[in-house]
Amino acid sequence: MLKAVSVRLYTSLLVLVGTMVLVFCIVNVLPGDPALLILDPSSATPEMIANLREQLGLNQPFYERFGEYFLHVLQGDFGKSIVNSEPVLPKIVEHFPATLALTALSSLIAVVIGVTLGVLSAIHRNRWIDIVARMVGLFGISMPTFWSGILLILIFSVQLGWFPAMGSDGFSTLVLPAITLGFVGSGFIVRMVRNSMLEVINEPFIVTLRAKGLPGRFIMYKHALRNALIPALTMVGVIIGDLMAGTVVIETVFSRQGIGRIIADAIMAKDLPVVQGVIFFSAIVYIVVNLLVDISYTLIDPRVRRTG
Amino acid sequence: MKQAVIGKQVWQGSRAEGAAKIRKLKRLAPADLLLYAAAVIVLFIISCALFPSLIAPYSPTLMNTDQIMQPPSLQHVFGTDYFGRDVFSVVVHGSRDSLLIGFVSVLVGCVTGGAIGAVAGYIGGVVDAVFMRLIDVLMTIPGVLLALAIAAALGPSLMNVVLAVAAASIPGYARVMRGQIMSIKGRPFITASRSIGTSSLSIFVRHVLPNSLSPMFVMAAIGIGTAILTGAGLNFLGLGTIKEIPDWGALLSQGRGYLTVAWWICTFPGLAITLFVLSINILGDKVRDQLDPKQSRA
């Protein structure tokens, strides 16, 4: 098992380097000339453009620029903001806890609501709880968060005054954004758990258990649920990543501080080093989360342990 | 006995027909009604995008300074905005860009991703390994962030938003297509075809590809909703162009500043997005149930 984990760790590192190349290419190569993206070509003088190109290191060949960036990243230097020359990494680290809290709480909401409703809906198929679960699933994946968030602000902040509409101090400011984001996640998880549970319920081994005369509840929670949750667990890693990406919109809607807000502002200001830094940082977090999910997978599913 | 029944039917004639119609209506489960409602909504919104001028009661650019931020009324069903424009008309006209982003990006993403997956899966070996590692790397960035980065790098424009949303969906399509191609490739009828001397290309075009397409349709059907949400999100964040007629995401973002005084400006565009995506997803689920028996059993 230790071997499986170390192999997984090694491939994750390789993927991480690949991701660094990709992010670097998107930000530095895709626009053609980043200097022209940052400065308005109609009003900027050729000297301004030349200066910025010098500052961004655009005069060097691509591989040199990437090599330099790579070495700096290894030393924990993600570059400096073009707008205010602040170093990128400390700023990300400073604001990451707020985003982490939001992602964690919304993932918790998503998993609790999603798994509970998904399981109940599969067991009580076509009953009212199943209809509720399917509605949650459909609305969860169909409502844009920037709209549902605004509706929540309208109802719970503007009308009822229960929660603050914006800010990032204290738990009360976390409630509405986490519900908004968690609802989306629960939509995906409900659909997935329901499908996977229904599939397991039809498996021959469940029929055998029934034939043996085991009580239905025991079969469902002891045997069916365990098997149904394994495919669901893989998706949870992906969903946590999506929820983290979702904070870009949510932190803008609720005016929260966090790395989602940093990247949204950086995009508006065309602050490419910051954009690059935040995306690469998020990719690291995402890879780590999925690594943890994979490892927990081997702990839960004995079949993976044996073959891995 | 049979004679008697037939006789009865003939005798009752139209009454029996009417009763059959009622029985048929009663047989329509709520799920069917939901499906019809979804189809009607999708058709209506698509016709809004195709013929906005026929449906919208006012011009979307007509600014009426006497009627600034009027709440919904019979005259302006969705109210008016801060320029005195009729929100319903703006939403109807804005559907064009929103839907364009959804449909075109799914088309581009599905074709590109499908092609990568098909080539990787059919050729295998080094080609497969290279393509799939590339896809693995693409998948380490959550779709929305990837779209955000690409849209930011390309600069604000409608076409760039389409490209960004499409690029973010490529890994998903590529993986599904590859898996499908590989499973078809190993089937006995492919071996049979090869054994009678059919060329590799011809097997691919005539047997492997057609048999691999149905999961792609399912994914594309569900993907339209996701693409519209992502596209509207990018426009909400301001990555699209600022146009005279905003799309739903941009309109919502503009209305956000007036939330406490005019709730209708951002409520209705959001409702339009939700209704359309919801309906597309209901139809998409149906397509999946029809094309994928394994899933529909579940």
Instruction: State residue B9's pLDDT score.
Output: 47
Residue B267 pLDDT exceeds 60: yes
Alpha-carbon gap: B80 to the closest alpha carbon of chain A (Å): 18
Angle in degrees, 0-180, between the axes of helices A225-253 and A172-201, rounded to the nearest 10: 150
Instruction: State residue B22's pLDDT score.
Output: 67
Instruction: State residue B166's pLDDT score.
Output: 92
Alpha-carbon gap: B177 to the closest alpha carbon of chain A (Å): 19
Closest Cβ–Cβ partner in A34, A139, A151 for B278: A139
Contact A283 B141 (CB under 8 A): yes
Alpha-carbon gap: B6 to the closest alpha carbon of chain A (Å): 37
User: What are the structural domain ranges in chain B?
Assistant: 41-62+72-291
Q: What is the CATH number of domain A96-257?
A: 1.10.3720.10
At A1, is the pLDDT very low, low, confident or very high (cuts 50, 70, 90)?
low
Q: What is the CATH number of domain B41-62+72-291?
A: 1.10.3720.10
Alpha-carbon gap: B161 to the closest alpha carbon of chain A (Å): 14
Residue B123 pLDDT exceeds 90: no
Closest Cβ–Cβ partner in A37, A202, A245 for B145: A245
Q: Which residues of B touch A263 (CB under 8 A)?
A: 145, 148
b/e sequence A34-53, b meaning 16+ C-beta within 10 Å: bbebbbeeeebeeeebeebb
ipTM over 0.85? The verdict is no
Q: H or E element: which one contains A302?
A: helix A302-307
Q: Which residues of B touch A125 (CB under 8 A)?
A: none
Where is pLDDT greater, at B58 or B230?
Answer: B230
What is the distance between the terminal CA atoms of chain A, rounded to a whole angstrom?
7
What DSSP letter does each residue of A95-164 carry, written as one string?
Answer: HHHHHHHHHHHHHHHHHHHHHHHHHHHHHTTTSHHHHHHHHHHHHHHHS-HHHHHHHHIIIIIIIS--S-
Residue A106 pLDDT exceeds 90: yes
Q: Does B155 touch chain A (CB under 8 A)?
A: yes
Phi–psi pair at A250, nearest 5 degrees: -65, -45
Contact A253 B256 (CB under 8 A): yes
For the segment B267-284, the average pLDDT, to the nearest whole number, is: 90
Closest Cβ–Cβ partner in B141, B153, B278 for A30: B153
At B11, is the pLDDT very low, low, confident or very high (cuts 50, 70, 90)?
very low
- Highest mean pLDDT among A16-20, A292-296, A302-306 belongs to A16-20
Which residue bears the tokens 């839907």?
B99
Answering whether pTM is above 0.90, one says no
State the CB neighbour count (10 A cutoff) for residue B28: 11
Contact A151 B278 (CB under 8 A): no
Best residue of A36, A39, A150 to probe chain B, by most B CBs closer than 10 Å: A150
Q: Which residues of B touch A282 (CB under 8 A)?
A: 141-142, 145
Alpha-carbon gap: B122 to the closest alpha carbon of chain A (Å): 24
For the segment B105-127, the average pLDDT, to the nearest whole number, is: 91
Q: Does B249 touch chain A (CB under 8 A)?
A: yes
Residue A280 pLDDT exceeds 60: yes
Alpha-carbon gap: B154 to the closest alpha carbon of chain A (Å): 5
For the segment B205-211, the average pLDDT, to the nearest whole number, is: 86
Best residue of A261, A267, A270, A290 to probe chain B, by most B CBs closer than 10 Å: A267
Percent of chain B exceeding pLDDT 90 equals 11
Q: Does B251 touch chain A (CB under 8 A)?
A: no
Phi–psi pair at B156, nearest 5 degrees: -75, 120
Average pLDDT, chain B: 81
Q: Which residues of A touch B254 (CB under 8 A)?
A: none
Instruction: State residue B7's pLDDT score.
Output: 45
What is the distance between the terminal CA atoms of chain B, rounded to a whole angstrom?
42
For the segment B155-166, the average pLDDT, to the nearest whole number, is: 86
Contact B149 A147 (CB under 8 A): no
Contact A287 B140 (CB under 8 A): yes
Best residue of B91, B140, B236, B282 to probe chain A, by most A CBs closer than 10 Å: B140
H helices, E strands: number in chain A: 14, 0
Average pLDDT, chain A: 83
At B4, is the pLDDT very low, low, confident or very high (cuts 50, 70, 90)?
very low
Question: Among candidates A106, A150, A93, A112, which has minimal Cα distance to A244?
Answer: A106
- What would the pLDDT profile of A117-155 be if each residue is shown by its tens digit? 988 888 888 888 888 888 889 899 899 998 999 889 888
- What would the pLDDT profile of A242-276 be if each residue is shown by its tens digit? 888 888 889 988 888 888 889 888 888 878 888 88
Question: What is the C-alpha separation between A243 and A137, in angstroms, rounded?
Answer: 16
Nearest residue of A to residue B163 by CA position?
A30
Q: Which residues of A touch B233 (CB under 8 A)?
A: 144-146, 249
State the CB neighbour count (10 A cutoff) for residue A222: 12
The answer to whether A101 and A176 have CB atoms below 8 angstroms apart is no
Where is pLDDT greater, at A114 or A230?
Answer: A114
At B90, is the pLDDT very low, low, confident or very high (cuts 50, 70, 90)?
confident
Q: H or E element: which one contains A167?
A: none
Alpha-carbon gap: A160 to the closest alpha carbon of chain B (Å): 13
Instruction: State residue A105's pLDDT score.
Output: 92
Contact B144 A158 (CB under 8 A): no
Closest Cβ–Cβ partner in B140, B148, B295 for A286: B140
At B13, is the pLDDT very low, low, confident or very high (cuts 50, 70, 90)?
low
Contact B153 A31 (CB under 8 A): yes
Query: Helical H runs in chain B?
Result: 2-12, 14-27, 30-50, 52-55, 87-123, 125-139, 143-154, 158-185, 188-195, 200-203, 209-212, 214-236, 248-255, 264-291, 293-297
**CA distances in angstroms from B55 to A119, B74, B168, B197, B251, listed in the order given:** 44, 16, 33, 58, 19
Contact B144 A242 (CB under 8 A): yes
